[in-house]
Structure 1
């Protein structure tokens, strides 16, 4: 087993005690941290890296991403201006995802994962959709992630909106991935559901029956992102979207509930009752003008933080979430601790999911002993004193750039801002060509 030592490194664990250890030594065995100390550990090391006073954060976790949207940057706007969230879905995202083929899907995965890695995001919980390329798409995602050394959670969006054949194929792609990857260390497969307003009761029953044949499973589902989702549940005879999902036995401790802007107090109790995880996506919610998740939902449910495909930079998402919320508050009103969502809650969510997928204990999201050696290292010279009491300001208002070095599983994937295992130039050049083709197919 390879033994690696990092020295002269300022280690920040924002939600640990201590949160700051200056001039630290980090000893790594294989893919796991052995020790973090202020004095040099004894023993022999195969490799010693002098980080020369750089600053390390834990490799960050994106608790909800849509990598398939990577080629949407700058794409042409729809001919008619969408008037509500449903029209945004119909005129933008459903047009785009239907146009994805294998080549453009692969370009999305490669470009999106490279951007994640460059931003210091080392674990991605993804929710994928490419209705014209279903079979094998989640295996392609897992393979692409493995090349870059990332942790990936897979899910394919199941929906009725493209007809019965695509519904069945989407369900089977999830089942196939769960069967294939449940024992894989760096992959956590889930059961992807689109918002329930695109799923009939008969479809939810089929999903439940298929899930019941699996040893372990959890849904990764959009819930109550817009008021229309709740209105649909009411029209179908249910008190709420979550009560509808519970009716079909689709809530459990392995599930991810995404968005939840318009859920009721009784829904909070349902999530807590089943032990499901909750994930907040502030920049996407602001962009789609669907509202803002209430403080109590985030605090009571120990919410994680995702980007919903808007970006791959979690530091930026945390800062933007804080500023978006502050713009809606009066002076003196309590806000939400986005540092906790990003560094504490996301670590707990990812550690739980990735441990459950293969029966071993995977610890993600801290630079501490027994945690996976995933680090985002910044060439950061603070302009004000840095201490445990000033970490918040330094992280959200000081660390404005990308990490210079990124390590995953005990191996450097980026050194001096350059990817070591793949050619970013080739990946991005291919993405540009695939984006041109994709845009021409639905505009």
Structure 2
């Protein structure tokens, strides 16, 4: 039995039912499962692995509910820096289609390492361009090697330009093969047990890149195997125009007609929705992955996160593609989620007399309308766990997975802010994780990945990224 003891944390944020914030506390785990969380004096005296958290704040591991790890190869890509979604995609589809298995492994490792260094312990990745020998298997292997809890998608595109879709025909796959490979991946890798390190999600890419038949057949397959479903939805007004012109339905209504609303479904972005659609998400149990940095980078819009929360819609955070962010820092994403929700307070409804108003005494905002630091932390932890359908992660309490990270409070970045160290994590600039533990295994120690040597990975990654850019 492998045991782990982390003690002496200046502050330990549990995110449990009581939302406790403990001082001079720690936790004890056996075989990757938490057994005790509380003050130092309540913890065992010894363990196989002992971590001193003096001067640090300890938080539950963050959960990333939407990413495209292979896109680390095309960060800051020439020709795709100043575009909104559709032209940005058209500039990159064929580049992504050239991704080799070697490049996919390297990009997955780079993205997961960056996420772990920002406190992320569980990652959902939405890969959907499987050409040139690339497959989800090499990503799963990479996640296992570095030690990150991984929800991998067998994503897909089947609607090429010749059939009215956005992607080029040579970037899509045949539907029978997609469905057959989806079944193979589920049967080989999906683990639904408590503490699972690998789960599979079926994830057709978007309304403008897949057929209705693929969406319906994928949903049937997923529900047969009891795996979750995911796709992009309501990201841009271009997408809304696409479904209105092609199907005479708004995106949410179109997905509902295909059986794509339910507790086993979550959508990336979900920006352009009305109040009735929000109610529909809440009533059916659909979740949303909020990706603030990507939404700003591509000029897509501001998702109504506070409305979602008030309606009871499950909401988590997503870093999104590393070519539309261009970072895999989930702590930064949590901060941006808080700030962007506050910016939305300054927007009047479309029928208002002005597009913008200034918050002032003449236009007071009720306290509940503000996105607080602690609400943003909840999105990053319990919110993400709920979206992924996991009851074994998202908080630090006995019976849950030993997934946590720490931040050093004695840094320049937090100087002057320690009267409320929990809020400082969000209000101050994102700081790198001092320690990240996943399933009871130390993945980040003293601010460095320790499960593998990342220097040769980065060198390989940069070489392959340059090769992709050359064409």
TM over 0.5: yes
1:352 CA drift (Å): 6.6
Instruction: Report whether the alignment pairs 1:8 with 2:8.
Output: yes
Contact 1:54 1:379 in 2 (8 A): yes
Contact 1:25 1:36 in 2 (8 A): yes
C-alpha distance in structure 1 between counterparts of 2:45 and 2:336, whole Å: 44
1:75 CA drift (Å): 2.4
Aligned to 2:67: 65
Tell me: CA distance 1:391–1:25, structure 2 relative to 1, closer, same or farther (3 Å).
Answer: closer
Contact 2:15 2:378 in 1 (8 A): yes
1:285 CA drift (Å): 0.8
C-alpha distance in structure 1 between counterparts of 2:277 and 2:428, whole Å: 38
Alignment match of 2:140 (pick from 136, 139, 142): 142
List per-residue Cα deviations over 1:69-103 (Å, max 9, x = no partner): 11122322259x64x43112112x32332221212
> Runs of 5+ in structure 2 lacking a partner?
161-167, 347-357
Alignment match of 2:434 (pick from 404, 407, 430): 404
C-alpha distance in structure 1 between counterparts of 2:283 and 2:23, whole Å: 41
C-alpha distance in structure 2 between counterparts of 1:78 and 1:370, whole Å: 45
Aligned to 2:165: none
The alignment's TM-score, normalised by the length of structure 2, stands at 0.83
Aligned to 1:307: 319
1:430 CA drift (Å): 0.7
Moved more, 318-327 or 304-313: 318-327
Contact 1:190 1:217 in 2 (8 A): yes
List per-residue Cα deviations over 1:16-73 (Å, max 9, x = no partner): 4353212113111110111112114347533433333322121111111111111122
C-alpha distance in structure 1 between counterparts of 2:132 and 2:43, whole Å: 51
1:273 counterpart SS class: helix
Moved more, 105-114 or 238-247: 238-247
2:431 counterpart SS class: coil
1:119 counterpart SS class: coil
Contact 1:219 1:251 in 2 (8 A): no
> Runs of 5+ in structure 1 lacking a partner?
356-361
2:77 counterpart SS class: coil
Alignment match of 1:179 (pick from 171, 181, 187): 187
Contact 1:5 1:26 in 2 (8 A): yes
Contact 1:188 1:353 in 2 (8 A): no
Moved more, 179-188 or 368-377: 179-188
Contact 2:27 2:36 in 1 (8 A): yes
Contact 1:104 1:438 in 2 (8 A): no
Alignment match of 1:433 (pick from 447, 463, 467): 463
CA RMSD of aligned residues (A): 2.6
Aligned to 1:118: 117
1:172 CA drift (Å): 3.5
1:153-172 mapped onto 2 (5 Å cutoff): 153-159=151-157, 160-161=159-160, 162-163=168-169, 165-172=173-180
C-alpha distance in structure 2 between counterparts of 1:179 and 1:338, whole Å: 40
Contact 2:57 2:409 in 1 (8 A): yes
Aligned to 2:382: 347
Contact 1:302 1:345 in 2 (8 A): no
1:146 counterpart SS class: helix
C-alpha distance in structure 1 between counterparts of 2:24 and 2:229, whole Å: 43
Contact 1:15 1:344 in 2 (8 A): no
Aligned to 1:358: none
Number of equivalent positions: 428
1:271 counterpart SS class: helix
Aligned to 1:104: 103
2:54 counterpart SS class: strand
2:308 counterpart SS class: helix
Aligned to 1:204: 215
2:423 counterpart SS class: helix
1:341 CA drift (Å): 4.4
Contact 1:23 1:53 in 2 (8 A): no
Contact 2:73 2:107 in 1 (8 A): yes
C-alpha distance in structure 2 between counterparts of 1:119 and 1:398, whole Å: 14
Contact 1:6 1:51 in 2 (8 A): yes
Contact 2:150 2:198 in 1 (8 A): yes
1:391 CA drift (Å): 4.3
1:354 CA drift (Å): 5.6
Aligned to 1:189: 200
The alignment's TM-score, normalised by the length of structure 1, stands at 0.88
Contact 1:63 1:124 in 2 (8 A): yes
C-alpha distance in structure 2 between counterparts of 1:224 and 1:18, whole Å: 33
Aligned to 2:30: 29
